Amino acid sequence: MTQETLKEMTRHGRVKIGTFVVEFNTPGIGQILKAAGCEFVLLDMEHSGFGIDTIKSMLRYMQSADLRVIVRPPSKEYHHAARVLDMGAEGVMFPMVGSPQQVRELLGYMKYPPKGARGVALQIAHDRYEGGPVMKKLTDANKKTTFVALIETREGVGNIEAIAAMRDVDLIWIGHFDLSADMGIAGQFDHPDFKAAVDRIIAACRRHNKSLGRLVPDAKTGAALFKEGFDFICHSGDVWMLQQVMKAGADELRATCKGGRKRVSKKGKK
């Protein structure tokens, strides 16, 4: 069965499970994640050392594993958005999205004319170097590119109704740490004000039939959020999963492997 496109994944409410990649750009990473049950990957350029050459390679790793990819560029500037799309990203997650006016500008970066002003370069990575009718290529790309609005400021929450109502906004994503920091309650995810902001976003996504995503530290948190209305569940990330599994194993070994093996003295031996 053909894997759904990222855009198609945003059109239903079934759970989509992915992870966050911020450190490991090994060629096997896509196959490893696919074998583990991943359906999508969020590649981060905002908080990692990944440049465009690295992203280009990583997109090929994910493509070979038939994994859908969202790239978070380091800014909301045109050249960052256009380059990650030209390298083959299906989805772009713009940081700190705050208003419908901003969304319209960003959508213009992603869409080819007449829907936007994305520069045209064909038979490169994004269209798998294949030829074809130009207008069909532009139309198909406009249908496929997926806009992810990262809501992580009070401004974004205040405008969530208008943002969620926009036709070409495919997925709303809550940046929970940045949002809590912007609200002056950093890391306090049980704070009434933070919970009220999240409830407001959930309600807007339900009213406008939009997918909703978030990074979660564990499966228990993800399952609870799914019941609340989140359907893109980004389960942890490469750095944290390796640390957690290694720490758990090391702690268990140290707790059970006490004492030491007795050594045979070599004194007196010739």
Whole-prediction pTM: 0.92
- Mean pLDDT across 168-197: 98
Mean pLDDT for the chain overall: 95
Q: Is pLDDT at 264 greater than 80 in this prediction?
A: no
The pLDDT-based confidence of 115 (bands split at 50, 70, 90) is very high
Q: What type of residue sits at position 1?
A: M
CB 42 within 8 Å of CB 105: no
Domains and their CATH numbers in the chain:
6-247 (3.20.20.60)
What pLDDT, on a 0 to 100 scale, did the predictor assign at position 119?
97
Structure tokens at 239: 């750095």
pLDDT digit string, tens, across residues 11-35: 999 999 999 999 999 999 999 999 9
What pLDDT, on a 0 to 100 scale, did the predictor assign at position 252?
96
Q: Is pLDDT at 265 greater than 90 in this prediction?
A: no
What pLDDT, on a 0 to 100 scale, did the predictor assign at position 3?
78
Cis peptide before 114 (omega within 30 of 0): yes
What pLDDT, on a 0 to 100 scale, did the predictor assign at position 1?
42
Q: Is pLDDT at 270 greater than 70 in this prediction?
A: no
Q: What type of residue sits at position 212?
A: L
